[in-house]
Protein backbone atom coordinates (compact mmCIF):
# COMPACT_ATOMS: atom_id res chain seq x y z
CA UNK A 1 0.00 0.00 0.00
CA UNK A 2 1.43 3.38 -0.99
CA UNK A 3 0.42 6.38 1.20
CA UNK A 4 -0.91 3.93 3.80
CA UNK A 5 -3.10 5.53 6.46
CA UNK A 6 -3.95 8.56 4.29
CA UNK A 7 -7.20 9.17 2.40
CA UNK A 8 -5.46 8.56 -0.92
CA UNK A 9 -3.92 5.22 0.08
CA UNK A 10 -3.56 2.95 -2.94
CA UNK A 11 -2.88 -0.78 -2.92
CA UNK A 12 0.17 -0.93 -5.20
CA UNK A 13 -0.03 -4.68 -5.77
CA UNK A 14 -3.02 -6.98 -5.59
CA UNK A 15 -2.79 -10.73 -5.32
CA UNK A 16 0.40 -11.04 -7.33
CA UNK A 17 1.92 -14.50 -7.03
CA UNK A 18 5.22 -14.91 -8.83
CA UNK A 19 7.09 -18.20 -8.95
CA UNK A 20 10.48 -18.26 -10.58
CA UNK A 21 12.49 -21.48 -10.65
CA UNK A 22 16.27 -21.86 -10.83
CA UNK A 23 17.32 -21.51 -14.46
CA UNK A 24 14.04 -19.90 -15.43
CA UNK A 25 13.62 -16.42 -16.90
CA UNK A 26 10.38 -14.55 -16.27
CA UNK A 27 9.82 -11.27 -18.08
CA UNK A 28 7.72 -8.74 -16.20
CA UNK A 29 6.11 -6.19 -18.49
CA UNK A 30 3.36 -3.59 -18.24
CA UNK A 31 2.81 0.11 -18.75
CA UNK A 32 4.35 2.90 -16.67
CA UNK A 33 2.97 2.78 -13.15
CA UNK A 34 1.66 -0.78 -13.47
CA UNK A 35 3.62 -1.88 -10.40
CA UNK A 36 6.71 -3.57 -11.86
CA UNK A 37 9.29 -1.69 -9.79
CA UNK A 38 7.14 -1.96 -6.69
CA UNK A 39 7.02 -5.73 -7.12
CA UNK A 40 10.78 -5.84 -7.78
CA UNK A 41 11.50 -3.90 -4.59
CA UNK A 42 9.37 -6.31 -2.61
CA UNK A 43 11.37 -9.22 -3.97
CA UNK A 44 14.46 -8.06 -2.14
CA UNK A 45 12.82 -6.34 0.82
CA UNK A 46 13.65 -2.79 -0.29
CA UNK A 47 9.92 -2.39 0.32
CA UNK A 48 7.93 -4.43 2.79
CA UNK A 49 4.17 -4.80 2.69
CA UNK A 50 1.98 -2.57 4.87
CA UNK A 51 -0.77 -5.13 4.33
CA UNK A 52 -0.70 -8.61 2.89
CA UNK A 53 2.53 -10.58 2.87
CA UNK A 54 5.50 -11.20 0.62
CA UNK A 55 7.48 -14.40 0.93
CA UNK A 56 10.80 -14.79 -0.81
CA UNK A 57 12.13 -18.31 -0.82
CA UNK A 58 9.80 -18.95 2.12
CA UNK A 59 11.05 -15.96 4.13
CA UNK A 60 8.47 -13.38 5.19
CA UNK A 61 10.00 -10.05 4.17
CA UNK A 62 8.48 -8.34 7.22
CA UNK A 63 10.80 -10.39 9.44
CA UNK A 64 13.33 -7.61 10.18
CA UNK A 65 15.96 -10.10 11.34
CA UNK A 66 16.02 -11.69 7.93
CA UNK A 67 16.27 -8.69 5.63
CA UNK A 68 19.85 -9.55 4.71
CA UNK A 69 18.87 -13.19 4.10
CA UNK A 70 16.37 -11.91 1.56
CA UNK A 71 18.82 -9.41 -0.01
CA UNK A 72 21.40 -12.14 -0.31
CA UNK A 73 18.93 -14.41 -2.09
CA UNK A 74 17.62 -11.81 -4.52
CA UNK A 75 19.98 -9.37 -6.19
CA UNK A 76 18.69 -6.30 -7.95
CA UNK A 77 20.03 -4.27 -10.87
CA UNK A 78 18.47 -0.91 -11.66
CA UNK A 79 18.12 1.25 -14.71
CA UNK A 80 20.90 3.78 -14.17
CA UNK A 81 24.35 2.15 -14.16
CA UNK A 82 25.95 5.21 -12.53
CA UNK A 83 23.69 4.97 -9.48
CA UNK A 84 25.06 1.52 -8.69
CA UNK A 85 28.78 2.18 -8.70
CA UNK A 86 30.22 2.75 -5.25
CA UNK A 87 34.00 2.25 -5.43
CA UNK A 88 36.98 3.72 -7.28
CA UNK A 89 38.03 0.50 -9.01
CA UNK A 90 36.02 -2.35 -10.46
CA UNK A 91 37.13 -5.13 -8.12
CA UNK A 92 36.39 -3.03 -5.03
CA UNK A 93 32.99 -2.29 -6.43
CA UNK A 94 32.28 -5.98 -6.93
CA UNK A 95 33.46 -6.71 -3.36
CA UNK A 96 31.19 -4.12 -1.76
CA UNK A 97 28.13 -6.31 -1.11
CA UNK A 98 30.24 -9.15 0.29
CA UNK A 99 31.96 -6.73 2.64
CA UNK A 100 28.55 -5.72 3.94
CA UNK A 101 27.88 -9.38 4.60
CA UNK A 102 31.02 -9.44 6.76
CA UNK A 103 32.70 -12.29 4.87
CA UNK A 104 36.40 -13.04 5.48
CA UNK A 105 38.78 -11.27 3.03
CA UNK A 106 40.04 -14.48 1.38
CA UNK A 107 36.46 -15.59 0.74
CA UNK A 108 35.63 -12.18 -0.70
CA UNK A 109 38.64 -12.31 -3.04
CA UNK A 110 37.64 -15.74 -4.31
CA UNK A 111 34.06 -14.65 -4.86
CA UNK A 112 35.07 -11.43 -6.63
CA UNK A 113 37.36 -13.40 -8.97
CA UNK A 114 34.59 -15.87 -9.76
CA UNK A 115 32.00 -13.15 -10.27
CA UNK A 116 34.25 -11.13 -12.62
CA UNK A 117 34.90 -14.28 -14.62
CA UNK A 118 31.17 -14.99 -14.89
CA UNK A 119 30.47 -11.57 -16.41
CA UNK A 120 33.64 -11.61 -18.54
CA UNK A 121 35.31 -8.57 -16.96
CA UNK A 122 38.46 -10.00 -15.34
CA UNK A 123 40.62 -7.92 -17.69
CA UNK A 124 39.01 -4.68 -16.43
CA UNK A 125 39.27 -5.42 -12.71
CA UNK A 126 41.73 -2.57 -11.95
CA UNK A 127 39.88 0.06 -14.01
CA UNK A 128 37.89 2.92 -12.51
CA UNK A 129 34.25 1.96 -13.19
CA UNK A 130 33.32 5.45 -14.37
CA UNK A 131 35.52 4.95 -17.44
CA UNK A 132 33.61 1.86 -18.56
CA UNK A 133 30.78 1.72 -21.09
CA UNK A 134 27.19 1.56 -19.83
CA UNK A 135 26.96 -2.15 -20.63
CA UNK A 136 30.21 -2.85 -18.79
CA UNK A 137 29.01 -0.85 -15.78
CA UNK A 138 25.84 -2.94 -15.59
CA UNK A 139 27.99 -6.08 -15.81
CA UNK A 140 30.08 -4.77 -12.89
CA UNK A 141 26.85 -4.27 -10.94
CA UNK A 142 25.74 -7.81 -11.85
CA UNK A 143 29.12 -9.16 -10.68
CA UNK A 144 28.68 -7.36 -7.34
CA UNK A 145 25.34 -9.08 -6.91
CA UNK A 146 26.69 -12.46 -8.03
CA UNK A 147 29.47 -12.29 -5.47
CA UNK A 148 26.75 -12.44 -2.83
CA UNK A 149 25.67 -15.79 -4.36
CA UNK A 150 22.00 -14.98 -4.90
CA UNK A 151 19.46 -17.48 -6.16
CA UNK A 152 17.54 -14.88 -8.09
CA UNK A 153 18.54 -11.83 -10.12
CA UNK A 154 16.06 -9.03 -10.82
CA UNK A 155 16.84 -6.59 -13.62
CA UNK A 156 14.58 -3.53 -13.39
CA UNK A 157 14.83 -1.91 -16.83
CA UNK A 158 18.57 -2.54 -16.64
CA UNK A 159 19.04 -2.09 -20.38
CA UNK A 160 16.86 1.00 -20.79
CA UNK A 161 19.69 3.56 -20.64
CA UNK A 162 22.15 1.58 -22.75
CA UNK A 163 23.05 1.71 -26.42
CA UNK A 164 22.15 -1.37 -28.50
CA UNK A 165 25.55 -2.95 -27.92
CA UNK A 166 25.28 -2.47 -24.14
CA UNK A 167 21.76 -3.85 -24.21
CA UNK A 168 22.94 -6.97 -26.00
CA UNK A 169 25.87 -7.38 -23.57
CA UNK A 170 23.65 -7.19 -20.49
CA UNK A 171 20.98 -9.50 -21.96
CA UNK A 172 23.58 -12.05 -23.06
CA UNK A 173 25.19 -11.99 -19.59
CA UNK A 174 21.90 -12.28 -17.69
CA UNK A 175 20.52 -15.06 -19.89
CA UNK A 176 23.79 -17.02 -19.73
CA UNK A 177 23.77 -16.81 -15.91
CA UNK A 178 20.20 -18.02 -15.93
CA UNK A 179 20.63 -20.86 -18.44
CA UNK A 180 24.08 -22.07 -17.43
CA UNK A 181 24.46 -21.12 -13.77
CA UNK A 182 20.90 -21.85 -12.71
CA UNK A 183 20.04 -18.35 -11.55
CA UNK A 184 16.35 -17.47 -11.46
CA UNK A 185 15.95 -14.33 -13.58
CA UNK A 186 13.23 -11.69 -13.36
CA UNK A 187 13.55 -9.41 -16.35
CA UNK A 188 11.58 -6.17 -16.12
CA UNK A 189 11.61 -4.54 -19.52
CA UNK A 190 9.96 -2.18 -21.96
CA UNK A 191 11.64 -3.97 -24.86
CA UNK A 192 9.29 -6.63 -26.12
CA UNK A 193 12.07 -8.30 -28.10
CA UNK A 194 13.80 -8.90 -24.74
CA UNK A 195 10.59 -10.22 -23.16
CA UNK A 196 10.28 -12.62 -26.11
CA UNK A 197 13.46 -14.38 -24.93
CA UNK A 198 11.98 -15.30 -21.52
CA UNK A 199 10.42 -18.63 -20.62
CA UNK A 200 7.34 -16.87 -19.30
CA UNK A 201 5.90 -13.40 -19.61
CA UNK A 202 3.87 -11.82 -16.82
CA UNK A 203 1.95 -8.66 -17.73
CA UNK A 204 1.12 -6.33 -14.86
CA UNK A 205 -1.65 -3.74 -15.08
CA UNK A 206 -2.78 -1.66 -12.15
CA UNK A 207 -0.83 -3.82 -9.70
CA UNK A 208 -2.43 -7.08 -10.85
CA UNK A 209 -1.36 -9.85 -13.16
CA UNK A 210 -3.36 -9.15 -16.32
CA UNK A 211 -1.88 -11.90 -18.51
CA UNK A 212 0.74 -14.58 -18.01
CA UNK A 213 2.14 -17.45 -20.00
CA UNK A 214 4.85 -18.43 -22.46
CA UNK A 215 5.85 -15.51 -24.72
CA UNK A 216 4.29 -17.04 -27.85
CA UNK A 217 0.97 -17.39 -26.05
CA UNK A 218 0.97 -13.96 -24.36
CA UNK A 219 2.05 -12.12 -27.51
CA UNK A 220 -0.66 -13.84 -29.56
CA UNK A 221 -3.38 -12.25 -27.40
CA UNK A 222 -3.84 -9.25 -29.66
CA UNK A 223 -6.97 -7.86 -28.03
CA UNK A 224 -5.98 -7.81 -24.35
CA UNK A 225 -2.52 -6.54 -25.34
CA UNK A 226 -4.01 -3.69 -27.34
CA UNK A 227 -6.23 -2.78 -24.39
CA UNK A 228 -3.11 -2.69 -22.18
CA UNK A 229 -1.29 -0.68 -24.87
CA UNK A 230 1.39 -3.31 -25.27
CA UNK A 231 2.82 -3.88 -28.72
CA UNK A 232 4.06 -7.41 -29.45
CA UNK A 233 7.73 -7.64 -30.53
CA UNK A 234 8.30 -6.16 -34.03
CA UNK A 235 9.16 -9.58 -35.49
CA UNK A 236 5.85 -10.98 -34.21
CA UNK A 237 4.00 -8.19 -36.01
CA UNK A 238 6.02 -8.76 -39.19
CA UNK A 239 5.30 -12.50 -39.06
CA UNK A 240 1.60 -11.82 -38.59
CA UNK A 241 1.55 -9.46 -41.59
CA UNK A 242 3.41 -11.98 -43.74
CA UNK A 243 0.97 -14.72 -42.69
CA UNK A 244 -1.95 -12.43 -43.45
CA UNK A 245 -0.51 -11.79 -46.93
CA UNK A 246 -0.60 -15.53 -47.61
CA UNK A 247 2.74 -17.00 -46.48
CA UNK A 248 2.13 -20.29 -44.63
CA UNK A 249 3.90 -19.30 -41.39
CA UNK A 250 3.21 -21.05 -38.08
CA UNK A 251 1.79 -18.92 -35.24
CA UNK A 252 4.01 -17.87 -32.34
CA UNK A 253 7.01 -16.44 -34.22
CA UNK A 254 8.75 -13.90 -31.95
CA UNK A 255 12.43 -13.72 -32.89
CA UNK A 256 14.47 -13.12 -36.03
CA UNK A 257 15.85 -16.66 -35.75
CA UNK A 258 12.38 -18.20 -35.61
CA UNK A 259 11.26 -16.17 -38.61
CA UNK A 260 14.31 -17.18 -40.66
CA UNK A 261 13.74 -20.82 -39.72
CA UNK A 262 10.09 -20.64 -40.77
CA UNK A 263 10.88 -18.83 -44.03
CA UNK A 264 13.81 -21.04 -45.12
CA UNK A 265 11.77 -24.04 -46.35
CA UNK A 266 9.61 -21.61 -48.32
CA UNK A 267 12.64 -20.48 -50.31
CA UNK A 268 11.93 -16.97 -49.13
CA UNK A 269 14.79 -16.44 -46.67
CA UNK A 270 17.66 -14.20 -47.75
P1 LIG B 1 6.31 0.64 -12.85
O2 LIG B 1 7.67 0.25 -12.38
O3 LIG B 1 5.54 -0.48 -13.46
O4 LIG B 1 6.36 1.85 -13.77
P5 LIG B 1 5.80 1.42 -10.08
O6 LIG B 1 5.93 0.16 -9.32
O7 LIG B 1 6.96 2.36 -10.05
O8 LIG B 1 5.42 1.08 -11.60
O9 LIG B 1 4.51 2.21 -9.60
C10 LIG B 1 3.26 1.58 -9.37
C11 LIG B 1 2.27 2.58 -8.81
O12 LIG B 1 2.68 3.00 -7.51
C13 LIG B 1 2.15 3.86 -9.61
O14 LIG B 1 0.82 4.27 -9.55
C15 LIG B 1 3.06 4.83 -8.90
O16 LIG B 1 2.66 6.16 -9.09
C17 LIG B 1 2.87 4.41 -7.45
N18 LIG B 1 4.09 4.66 -6.67
C19 LIG B 1 5.33 4.20 -6.94
N20 LIG B 1 6.21 4.59 -5.99
C21 LIG B 1 5.49 5.32 -5.09
C22 LIG B 1 5.81 6.01 -3.87
N23 LIG B 1 7.06 5.99 -3.39
N24 LIG B 1 4.80 6.65 -3.23
C25 LIG B 1 3.54 6.65 -3.72
N26 LIG B 1 3.17 6.01 -4.84
C27 LIG B 1 4.12 5.37 -5.54
MG1 LIG C 1 9.60 0.87 -12.90
Q: Is residue 2 part of a domain?
A: no
Domain check: are 119 and 167 in the same one?
yes
Contact 189, 29 (CB under 8 A): yes
Nearest to 92, CA basis, from 43, 163, 143? 143
What range does the domain containing 69 cover?
25-219
pLDDT > 70: percent of the chain: 99
Q: Which atom of ligand 1 is nearest to the CA of 38?
A: 6
Distance 213 CA to ligand 1 centre (A): 24
Give the whole-angstrom CA distance, residue 147 versus residue 128: 19
- Decide if 7 is inside a domain: no
Position 61 in a domain: yes
CB 36 within 8 A of CB 79: no
Do residues 171 and 51 both lie within one domain? yes
In this structure, the answer to whether residues 203 and 239 fall within a common structural domain is: no
Nearest ligand 1 atom to alpha carbon 157: 2
Q: Give residue 2's pLDDT.
A: 76
- 6-29 residues labelled b (16+ CB within 10 A) or e (exposed): eeeeebbbeebebebeeebbbbbb
Closest-CA residue, ligand 1 atom 13, reads 33
Angle separating helix axes 134-146 and 164-181, nearest 10 degrees: 20
- pLDDT score of 56: 86
Domain assignment present for residue 227? The answer is no
Ligand 1: which atom is nearest the Cα of residue 204? 3
Torsion of CA 96, 99, 105, 106, to 10 degrees: -70
What residues contact residue 81 under an 8 Å CB cut-off, 6+ apart? Answer: 134, 137, 138, 141, 161, 162
Question: Do 166 and 74 lie in a common domain?
Answer: yes
Q: What confidence tens digit (pLDDT) does each residue in 165-211 have? A: 999 999 999 999 999 999 999 999 999 999 999 999 999 999 999 99
Pocket of ligand 1 (CB under 6 A): 2-3, 12, 30, 32-38
Domain total in the chain? 2
Nearest CA to ligand 1 atom 18: 2
Residue 209 sits in the same domain as residue 144: yes
- Measured between alpha carbons, how far is 162 from 84 in angstroms, rounded to an integer? 14
In this structure, the answer to whether residues 199 and 270 fall within a common structural domain is no
In 10 A of CB 268, how many CB atoms? 12
Burial letters 244-265, b for 16+ CB under 10 A, else e:
eeeeebeeebbbeebbeebbee
Where among 219, 245, 260 does a domain terminate? 219
- For residue 266, the model assigns a pLDDT of 78
**148 and 249 inside one domain:** no
pLDDT value at residue 126: 98
Q: How confident is the model at residue 268, as a pLDDT?
A: 52
User: pLDDT digits over 47-81, tens only?
Assistant: 998 888 888 888 999 999 999 889 999 999 999 99
Bridge partners of 89, per DSSP, are none
User: What is the three-class DSSP state of 49?
Assistant: coil
Residue 17 placed within a domain: no
Q: Does residue 155 sit in the same domain as residue 246?
A: no
Tens of pLDDT, residue by residue over 204-258, are: 999 999 999 999 999 999 899 999 999 999 999 899 899 999 999 998 899 999 9
Q: What is the CATH number of the domain that holds 156?
A: 3.40.50.300
Partners of 201 in beta bridges: 27, 213
- The pLDDT score that the predictor gives to residue 58 is 87
Amino acid sequence: MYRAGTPDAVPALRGVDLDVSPGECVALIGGNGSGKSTLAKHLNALLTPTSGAVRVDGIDTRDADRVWDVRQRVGMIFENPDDQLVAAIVEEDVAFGCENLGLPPAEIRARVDAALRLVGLEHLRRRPPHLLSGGQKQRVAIAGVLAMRPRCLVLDEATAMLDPRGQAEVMETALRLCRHEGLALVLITHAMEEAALADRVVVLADGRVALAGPPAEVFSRAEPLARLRIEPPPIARLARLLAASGLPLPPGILTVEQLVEALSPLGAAP
